Structure 1
Amino acid sequence: MFFNEHPTSAAHKLTYSPSPGRSMTIKHSNPNGTVHGGVPISLLDYTLDGTTEQVLASSADGGLATARQHTITISLTTQFSGGARHGLPLFGRAWVQRRTRSIAFVAGEPTSGDLTVATASAIFKTPRQPGA
């Protein structure tokens, strides 16, 4: 679920746990004993894309995308800065930095406790509606 911090903000949050009420477990580990990097990357892709769709659909100018229109990931770049901790949920936050008529530039970060696990930037394309 997305939780809008401020109704006019482009920042949204998503918390990931493997199952309701649970945190990361050894099952999600890499050989270093931290949560496998694929978990925060998946969270980032989902969070950044969902934020983009929600922000575009609810923008003050009537939206560049409709609530049912999905964006396409052109690029997702991730820089890791630490390992997600077991026993804590992974929290994703994203915001739209800039947008054009058909492209959105988005940034985000997952955190585990007080640790920023990574930073990411993405570019999303808003496909044209048929007949538009």
Structure 2
Amino acid sequence: YLPAALIAAFIKRMARLSLTAPPAASVIIIPFIYNLLKRHPTCMTLIHSNKAVEEATDPFSMDNLNPYECRAIESSLWEVQTLSQHYYANVSTLAKIFGEQFLKPKYNLEDFLDHTYATVSAY
């Protein structure tokens, strides 16, 4: 058992990093976040919350190294909404799954390992 605050902090850090990560990394991070939310439904408040819609109003503190004090559980996953507008079609398509009901089975992350910087730049 892991506390929801710890999982939420990890999810928020991954989501925030995906904003500046190369598309090949975001293509893996997004399904990973989806799988974490499926496995830890107490963190679903992150996608149902409208408390923060951008970094300036987000209560989450990326600089706070203590996952219990970074206020991730009070935040939202506005980052995936931002990623749904990504220039790389695979990233934007994957991010749009968070706007739908969570009926899809968990992702097999091995399916996304063939995305590299070289394959992304080929598009």
TM-score (norm 2): 0.28
More helix by share: 2
- Structure having greater relative contact order (Cα 8 Å, sep ≥ 6): 2
Larger Rg: 1
